[in-house]
Structure 1
Amino acid sequence: MNVLLTGATGFLGTDIAERLAQKGHTVYTLIRNEAKANEWLKTLSSKTQKAVRFVFGDLMKPSGGLTENRITALSGEIDSVIHSAAYLSFDASERDRVFQINYEGTKELLHIADRLDVKTFLHVSTAYTLGMDNAGVESLYPPENRDFVNAYEESKCYAEHEVMAYQDRFHVAVLRPAIIVGNSETGEADSTFGLYGVMRAVELMKRHVQKKRQSTLDSFKIVISEEDKTHLVPVDYVADIITGALTNSSNGSIYNITNPSPPTNGMIMSAIRDGFNFKELEWIPFNETDQLSKLEQKMNEPLAVFEPYLNRTIDFADKNTKVLLERMHLNSLAMDRDMLDRIVSGFRNRHSEPERV
């Protein structure tokens, strides 16, 4: 099968590309910068390198930046599209850019897919298109009059509606991962967002405490709701489901790729405290921030954007996903403390790598 993959050089996209190649598919990757894409290519297995074909384009431009000649050449050549490219930003000042890439870019890619006469279009969205609701369903959320946490969620919600409008032209499915973390076996990750933003803050806190060993500082507080649960999903689990959906999904279906037994934030923070050997680390709820010192307030500021995700427990329906897993002969995610420890260790042992574009 020939698969056009967007976002291939990203954290999740790289895992998807590797799995597609291992299954014998040819991977057409939409790229903007050839030099950076070539650097990314060097990080892949030899089999995947041979399976990759570059398609130069840009989702910020009409027709995805593809020329008419290129579209004509690819017509009838591409069997399926996996759209995993997205602009992940919670910065309100970037709302226009977020919508341009995540919403308008999806619309352009759908037009291209229609012209290429593809058979399947898989759209990688986010479990958090539900906005501020506490119950997630495997159907479209009406975007109007919905309270979204940020423009990223809102843009992805609108994009889902665009995708579903094409289900009479070709097979479509929406895959909604929750908070993606490192590989379930190795802990390896190429991400600075979500849980990795929290771990980065903890890392900085520990460095500060180490400098103050001779002072009276005996604890450092981070703000998080201990009893609430967070839906962490390993990148390999997500990539397995997405690639399996190419041949096992149902047309017009939505799949919540969430955690059937999400860990409590207390469990996550315990793994981080132990993994960093940071016995001074403590965590307090959001309604007790008056306990923070000025330094702790400053250290916690970058985590404020994650409060809506760390201060509530969301129950996600996953009936469709369970059926998909059964068709793929895969088990549902079973995240335990050992897996969390591996994920923390993966961050702690990370090495400097070329930036993925």
Structure 2
Amino acid sequence: MNILITGATGFLGTQLTQKLVNDSHHVYLLVRNRKKLEPLYQSLTDEQQELVHVVEGDLLQAELGITPEQKTALQGQIDALYHTAAYLSFDEAERDLVFDINLYGTKRALAFAKSIGVKTFIHVSTAYTLGEATTGYENLHPTDGAFVNTYEESKCFAEHEVMAEQDNLKTVIVRPAIIIGNSQSGEADTTFGLYGILRTVYLLKKRAQRKSDDHIFHLLIEEDTVSNLVPVDFVIDVLHASLTHGQAGTIYHATNPNPPTNGEIFTAIKEGMDFDQVKIVSYDEKGELSEEEQRLNQPLEVFKQYLNRSITFDRKNVKALLNQTNQQDLNMDHDMLLRIVDGFLEEQ
């Protein structure tokens, strides 16, 4: 197949590209800057590189910033478009930019897909378009609900735009939960969620070693709450399966069927870092933290709603998809969590 990918230089887009060229698909990568593709090319063989085609453009521009000549060359040639590009920001001051990329960028991608005769449009959303609810279903969530942040709101609106095009395109939505590194290698390229915690604990250990300090540091995270972590390779498997077996107008939750509790995650972090001088405590104990500890916890505030709220995700559609493609569902155990921690440490 010939497959166009937006967001190709991102963590998910890069992994997806590698998966597709491994299957001998031709991939067309929408990029603003060719230099950002250098790490991707370095990971591919010479034969695989011949399957990669660069399409210079910009999601913020009409026609995706693609020249008329390039558009003509793509006309009728693209079988599927993976829309992975997004702007992950929780900063309300960036609301206009978040919506311009996540909502209006999606509308521009849909319009371009229709104009060149793309058959299948696979949209990468987020499992957190459910807003403040605690149960997420594999259908569209209302756009007039209460959202945790601008990012979630913009992605919810974008989903409605995608599904509104069902008469013109085969549209599929894949909703990943909190993406982490590769389940086997631990390799990652993200600072979101879990990695903010890993970075905090890592710096605390360095500080304790430097000062020969045996102080116990307290982080505000609810021990029994589950965090829906999903390794990037599992998300890629779901995206890949949706290319061949995804049903039109269907939403798939690329979520963890048995997500770990924060207590289990921290057990793995402390073991993997060989550092016991950190303890997680409930937000009920926030007033008992020292001023220094309150400062240490400040960077984690942005992830509070993701690390301290247990959410149940319906997975009927994704389980059927995995069964159709004979793929195993995610089974995250302690050893996998340790590999994720080790992958983080190797990058430090």
| Corresponding position of 1:7 | 7
Q: TM-score, normalised by structure 2?
A: 0.97
Which of 310, 318, 322 is the aligned partner of 2:319?
A: 322
CA contact (8 A) 2:235 2:254 kept: yes
Which of 279, 284, 289 is the aligned partner of 1:292?
A: 289
Alpha-carbon distance between aligned partners in 1 of 2:162 and 2:345, rounded to the nearest angstrom: 38
| Corresponding position of 1:159 | 158
Aligned-residue identity in percent: 50
2:3 is paired with a residue whose SS is strand
- 1:15 maps to amino acid: Q
- 2:98 maps to amino acid: V
* Structure 1 segment 176-191 matched on structure 2, within 5 A: 176-191=175-190
| Corresponding position of 1:21 | 21
Per-residue deviation, 1:47 = 4.2
Per-residue deviation, 1:218 = 2.3
Alpha-carbon distance between aligned partners in 2 of 1:343 and 1:274, rounded to the nearest angstrom: 12
CA contact (8 A) 1:31 1:58 kept: yes
Change (3 A) 1:45 1:344: farther
| Corresponding position of 2:38 | 38
1:130 is paired with a residue whose SS is coil
CA contact (8 A) 2:24 2:48 kept: no
Per-residue deviation, 1:67 = 2.1
Change (3 A) 1:162 1:199: same
Alpha-carbon distance between aligned partners in 1 of 2:40 and 2:2, rounded to the nearest angstrom: 20
Partner deviation per Cα, 1:177-216 (whole Å, 9 max, x = no partner): 0001111111111111111111111111212222231x5x
| Corresponding position of 2:94 | 94
Per-residue deviation, 1:139 = 0.3
Alpha-carbon distance between aligned partners in 2 of 1:196 and 1:78, rounded to the nearest angstrom: 36
Segment drifting more, 203-212 vs 279-288: 203-212
Per-residue deviation, 1:50 = 2.1
Per-residue deviation, 1:39 = 4.5
| Structure 1 runs not aligned, ≥5 long | 352-357
Alpha-carbon distance between aligned partners in 2 of 1:90 and 1:287, rounded to the nearest angstrom: 24
Which of 207, 215, 219 is the aligned partner of 1:218?
A: 215
Change (3 A) 1:275 1:39: closer
Alpha-carbon distance between aligned partners in 1 of 2:65 and 2:301, rounded to the nearest angstrom: 36
Per-residue deviation, 1:251 = 0.2
Structure 1 moving runs of 4+ over 6 Å = none
Segment drifting more, 313-322 vs 49-58: 49-58
Alpha-carbon distance between aligned partners in 1 of 2:263 and 2:45, rounded to the nearest angstrom: 37
Alpha-carbon distance between aligned partners in 1 of 2:46 and 2:267, rounded to the nearest angstrom: 39
* Structure 1 segment 1-357 matched on structure 2, within 5 A: 1-144=1-144, 146-213=145-212, 215=213, 217-350=214-347
Per-residue deviation, 1:242 = 0.1
Alpha-carbon distance between aligned partners in 1 of 2:161 and 2:116, rounded to the nearest angstrom: 17
Alpha-carbon distance between aligned partners in 2 of 1:324 and 1:253, rounded to the nearest angstrom: 11
| Structure 2 runs not aligned, ≥5 long | none
CA contact (8 A) 1:286 1:311 kept: no
RMSD of aligned alpha carbons: 1.2
1:128 is paired with a residue whose SS is coil
Alpha-carbon distance between aligned partners in 2 of 1:243 and 1:13, rounded to the nearest angstrom: 12
Per-residue deviation, 1:35 = 2.2
Alpha-carbon distance between aligned partners in 2 of 1:131 and 1:49, rounded to the nearest angstrom: 41
- 1:267 maps to amino acid: E
Alpha-carbon distance between aligned partners in 1 of 2:36 and 2:134, rounded to the nearest angstrom: 40
Segment drifting more, 46-55 vs 250-259: 46-55
Q: TM-score, normalised by structure 1?
A: 0.95
CA contact (8 A) 1:222 1:296 kept: yes
Alpha-carbon distance between aligned partners in 2 of 1:236 and 1:118, rounded to the nearest angstrom: 26
Equivalent residues, number: 348
Change (3 A) 1:107 1:320: same
Partner deviation per Cα, 1:109-142 (whole Å, 9 max, x = no partner): 0000001111100000000000110000000001
Per-residue deviation, 1:46 = 3.9
Alpha-carbon distance between aligned partners in 1 of 2:48 and 2:264, rounded to the nearest angstrom: 37
1:335 is paired with a residue whose SS is coil
CA contact (8 A) 2:193 2:306 kept: no
Per-residue deviation, 1:45 = 4.2
CA contact (8 A) 1:186 1:342 kept: yes
2:174 is paired with a residue whose SS is strand
Segment drifting more, 126-135 vs 60-69: 60-69
- 1:44 maps to amino acid: L
Change (3 A) 1:45 1:180: farther
